[in-house]
Amino acid sequence: MEIYFLGTNAGVPTLQRNVTSVALRLLEERRTFWMFDCGEGTQHQVLRSPLRLGKLEKLFITHLHGDHLFGLPGLISSRGYQGGTSPLTVYGPPGLKAYLDISLSVSQSRIPYKLEIVEHSGGLIFEDETFKVEAGLLEHRIDSYGYRVTEKDSPGNLNTELLKSYGLKPGPLYGRLKKGEDITTDEGVLIRAAEVIHAPKRGRIVVILGDTRPCAGSLPLAQDADLIIHEATFAHSLAEMAHQYHHSTAQQAAELARDAGGAELILTHFSSRYTSQEELAPLLKEAQEIFPNTLLAEEFCTFPVYRRTPGNDAAD
């Protein structure tokens, strides 16, 4: 599981950064990737990345401002031209379906795959045997949502060293134990599955928050997350401006990560006034003073999603 940033700027693209889009690569889990927001020019960013639109499975829109949305019709259309045939589901606030229906119908775009548009007002919006996704309302000029992606716990591995001591070799009996069945060896030894299976592997939690100023809705979404991705449009010296425009500062993002008991924080959605990673350094510094395990998002860079070890903030 990896995070890959396609756009990190707020409002408009610049020569250095594109507008918002984040990919969650589910390499071992599903062999697909999910996308969060799709600002103008996102499909150009994809062309410069290791991502392939045919592998895009789900796309989540946090809110209907243009810097998070205007790239969506073009990307949906191009996905078909680039060999995408598998279904694609797009989630977002009410109004998303009307926007896409008009854009795709007026342009007479041909979509050669099943496209499903799911409008929501928060709550549990997706669940299967491996993941669930919950959305929560934040505080912005228009309805803006954060998404909490929870990977479900996976069964523990077999203790193969212990099984070897019983004289067992890999085979059908291993499979029965893995399913939780107790077995009896040819020598009449009872082996209980619970005694030879390691503890379940805890699933990871990734939280991607849309545009917001500090609000009560952020905390339950971010609680105990392994990774929190939070906007940091301004340095805290511009906190009044941030509040006026319904955005957050780097310090406020760090305070949320600290209060939520998160393990790692990545800042993104930077104002155009910060033209380079060097000019963003003060934002990183103010966040790290409150929440040390903070990083700056950078386009075309991969950030692994680590699983926190139970009982502390270390990751494996």
- Is 44 known as a binding-site position? no
Q: Output the CA–CA distances (angstroms, integers) from residue 65 to 24, 45, 92, 141, 302, in the order listed.
A: 21, 19, 12, 9, 26
134: nearest Cα among 120, 122, 119: 122
Going by C-alpha positions, the residue among 15, 14, 32 that lies closest to residue 23 is 32
CB 229 within 8 A of CB 221: no
Give the active site residue among 67, 153, 182, 224.
67
Q: How far apart are the first and last CA of the chain?
A: 12
Question: Is 230 annotated as ligand-binding?
Answer: no
Contact between 267 and 232 under an 8 Å Cβ cutoff? The reply is: yes
Cβ proximity of 13 and 23 under 8 Å: no
Annotated ligand binding at 63? The verdict is yes
State yes or no: is 67 an active-site residue: yes
Residue pointed to by tokens 């957050």: 248
Give the span between the Cα atoms of 212 and 300, in whole angstroms: 24
CA 38 to chain centroid:
13
Binding-site positions for Zn(2+) read 63, 65, 67-68, 140, 211, 269
- Summarize the annotated binding site as residue ranges: 63, 65, 67-68, 140, 211, 269
Q: Which residues are catalytic?
A: 67
